[in-house]
Chain A
Amino acid sequence: MRWLLVVVLVFAPHAVRADDTDDVDAAGDVSPARRAAAVALAVVPGFVLHGTGSWIVREKKPAKTLVEVELVGLAGIAAGGLLVGGTGGNPYTIWPGVPILLAGSGLFFTSWATDIWVAAGGSRIEAASRALAPWSVEAGTTWQHDAYRNRALLRGGGHLELGRVRVGALALIDAGGAAKLGEGDVRVRIFGAPATGEVIGDGSRLLARVGGRVHRDDDDEMTQIVGELEVIGRLDLARLDAAFAPSFVEASTGVGVARVAYERMETEIASELLGTFGWGVYLGTRGEAMLFYDHRRDGLVGGLPAWRASGFVGSLGARADVRVYGPWALHAELGVGNAWVSTLAIAYRGGAQ
């Protein structure tokens, strides 16, 4: 269901900023003190009433949009929660209950983040998205720290765009030799700009992804092979209102099948539910940064020890991808769940610079 929402939002007509001078402040009309208060109030009580921060900086139309998105999100949380929680997790309501719940949560949290962004005057930043690079390679390291593991994994990967089709691969090898991971996927661009690496006005896109992953862990004497089918969407929020620029939201959902082979026992087949949502901003024309939630538990990060909700909650993360010198870029990522997984990699992006 989430991808339907993404499709609707992506194809929505570009929003035109209201000309009503009562709703729109002229540049510099908002004093630093007012803006600081707006940011603080956008956090609390803005968490409950989205648009609070925007309203205080006199961005009334965006404020109304954020309230509407929040209400849709809350409706999704209620509907998904009713389907899943109300039935005690009956297997027949997991799909579409959990995706609806995640979509609702995504709308709720990203509209909250957007309100803080508007309150902070984020739209004053000159930034634009870049089309995906036609090809790239990267090398770096990933550090996994959890209750049982402290591992430094060397990583290397790359991707190549062939028209609408993107082929990618990534390998991670534990420096201590205890774990090896290999990932590969094919993404088909359904909607969005061609992968030229050029600066473009709108980074919105919709992708279908087929992927596979092999994870061998010698310490746990287990090999896991996962096949995944996923839809990934991104929406530049300037499509909804210029005040939201240069931020974007991203969401995905899908399913996976895992085949788990143990050393001395039967092989098992398990199902996986994939789901993410995130909110990010473009950093000039150099790259982007994003905060995200990932619902899956089968990766290195796992789910958060979320006190009463432990087991039901996935992980939180932050990701930044910035071109630092010509085609050279830094990729940094932190995932916080059962494990803290941090990644730092250097990448070479092909295509337009």
Chain B
Amino acid sequence: MKLALVLAVCACTRPGEQRAEAELSIGQAALADASIDIAGGLAAVRWFTDHRIEVWSQTPDLHFSLVLGNTAGGEWTIIARNVLVDAVLTVGGTTFTRDPGEYPTVGIFHVTLPAGTHELRIAPPDADIVEPFKVASMADIQTALPTVDDVFEAIDAVPDARFVIAMGDITERGLVEEYELFERQLGTLTIPFYTTLGNHELWADFARFHERYGRGSFHFEFKGAAFSFVDSGDAGLDPLVEEWLDSWLADARDRLHIFLTHIPPIDPVGMRYGGFRSEQDGRRLLGRLVDGNVDLTLYGHIHTFIQFENAGIPAYISGGGGAEPMKWDGIDRHFLVVDIDASTNAVRGVELHRVD
């Protein structure tokens, strides 16, 4: 059965099609008398029951609409996981502050909402102010899940880092226990962790990732900078993902834009073939990133640190989350700190931080 599945996947020219189509319904849920729609599919709706919403956010600036019927009006509890520590809830011009939660990245809000349609936003007050900020970046945790809290503690120690942007492979086999351990380890981290998926998340049902964290391909903007994450888990982009990316590139063409995906389109060490399964498709993607004026590309997959340029765009491979490291490369666990200034459309710097 498994062999048949493998052969079927090998014979398919769009192995990521089903995964991409599944992302279209992420962030939407409905009850008999209420429905929720997360803008851009930027959160997984984990719970949507009577007067209670729980979401896992994949953006520092979460927008969603809530449609309540006559019987659904009243006090709602909104639990937003993976949000900034200073995030507040805004509904119709009214701001609600969060209850003290279990973790800094969990915002719990209580809000009374009458029947009708409501536009809600969970974001820090400075989300729209264009000014410099920093983010951390990492990939490839895999077998190092039991000790990744070391990396998270090191990230916590970086002053002013607002959130982590990650390039996938958070698990080794996509097991439920691994996802559970990952979330327990995230308890160490005081800032949100936004990630696409990697090839190791595809060792098991990709729905495990979608149901917990949402889309593998998504785009958000924060303080004037754009971030595009795309799912390249099977060493290529599905045309549907490319279509989304094209629209994100067009929207952010005049803004600072950071692109992240797990597998580099072209391995800088060509003979290793650690990039896309088709170099033609990899170069097709790079051409689009250049046309879209992307300022920085971040990749994982190869468990080392490489600074290079692809098609003239600054690029980093940072696979230092703890997975079996490359030998004799002089680097072990690490992460990057990206210093961003959207007011000047500049990535002011990318610093390498070693953990070991």
Contact = CB atoms under 8 A, between A and B. Distances in A.
Q: Do A and B bind each other?
A: yes
Interface of A: 86-92, 94-95, 98, 145-148, 215, 217, 219-222, 224, 255, 258, 260, 262-266, 268, 270-273, 295, 297-298, 300, 302-308, 310-314, 336-340
Given A273-B273, A297-B273, A305 B280 contact: no
Given A90-B329, A297-B279, A338-B277, A264 B290 contact: yes
The 10 closest A-B CB pairs, nearest first, are: A302-B278, A311-B235, A88-B326, A303-B277, A271-B270, A338-B278, A273-B271, A310-B235, A305-B15, A270-B270
Interface stretch (B4-12, B30-38, B177-185, B216-224): B4-12
Contacts of B242: 148
A224 B280 CA distance: 9
B284 A88 contact: no
Given A262-B290, A302-B279, A89 B274 contact: yes
29 contacts: A87-B327, A88-B326, A89-B269, A89-B303, A90-B328, A91-B271, A91-B272, A95-B271, A148-B242, A222-B283, A222-B287, A260-B283, A265-B311, A265-B312, A271-B269, A272-B270, A303-B235, A304-B10, A305-B235, A305-B277, A306-B6, A306-B277, A307-B202, A310-B277, A311-B274, A311-B276, A311-B277, A312-B274, A340-B13
A219 B287 CA distance: 10
Contacts of A266: 309, 311-312
B99 interface: no
Nearest to B291: A264
A98 B271 CA distance: 9
Q: Using C-beta atoms within 8 Å of the partner chain, give the interface range for chain B.
A: 35 or more
Interface in B238-256: 238-239, 242
Contacts of A311: 199, 234-235, 263, 273-277, 301
A222 B284 contact: yes
Contacts of A338: 13, 236, 277-278, 281
Contact of A91 (B236, B269, B287, B291): B269
Contact of B273 (A88, A147, A295): A295
B337 interface: no
Nearest to B286: A262
B302 to A, nearest CB: 6
B278 A310 contact: no
A90 B326 contact: yes
B10 A220 contact: no
A98 B286 CA distance: 26
A320 to B, nearest CB: 20
Interface in B101-142: none
B266 interface: yes
Given A148-B284, A222-B280, A302-B280, 18 more contacts: A88-B303, A88-B304, A88-B329, A89-B272, A95-B271, A147-B14, A221-B287, A222-B287, A262-B311, A271-B269, A297-B273, A303-B273, A303-B278, A306-B6, A306-B10, A307-B202, A311-B276, A338-B13
Interface string B292-335: 00000000011110000111100000000000111111000000
A307 B234 contact: yes
A271 B271 contact: yes
A145 B13 CA distance: 8
A220 B203 CA distance: 31
Given A307-B6, A308-B202, A273 B270 contact: yes
Contact of B278 (A146, A264, A273, A340): A146
Contacts, number: 169
B167 to A, nearest CB: 14
Given A295-B273, A307-B6, A310-B15, A87 B278 contact: no
Given A264-B291, A310-B234, A146 B271 contact: no
Nearest to B11: A336
A94 B239 contact: no
B327 A305 contact: no
A88 B6 CA distance: 24
A313 B303 CA distance: 18
B305 to A, nearest CB: 12
A210 B312 CA distance: 30
Interface string B186-201: 0000000000000100
Contacts of B281: 146-148, 302, 338
A268 B312 CA distance: 9
A88 B277 contact: no
A222 B287 CA distance: 8
Contacts of A147: 13-14, 236, 238-239, 281
A297 B278 contact: yes
Nearest to B240: A147
Contacts of B266: 268, 270
Contacts of B325: 88
A159 B329 CA distance: 46
B272 A302 contact: no
B283 A220 contact: yes
Interface in B1-51: 5-6, 9-15
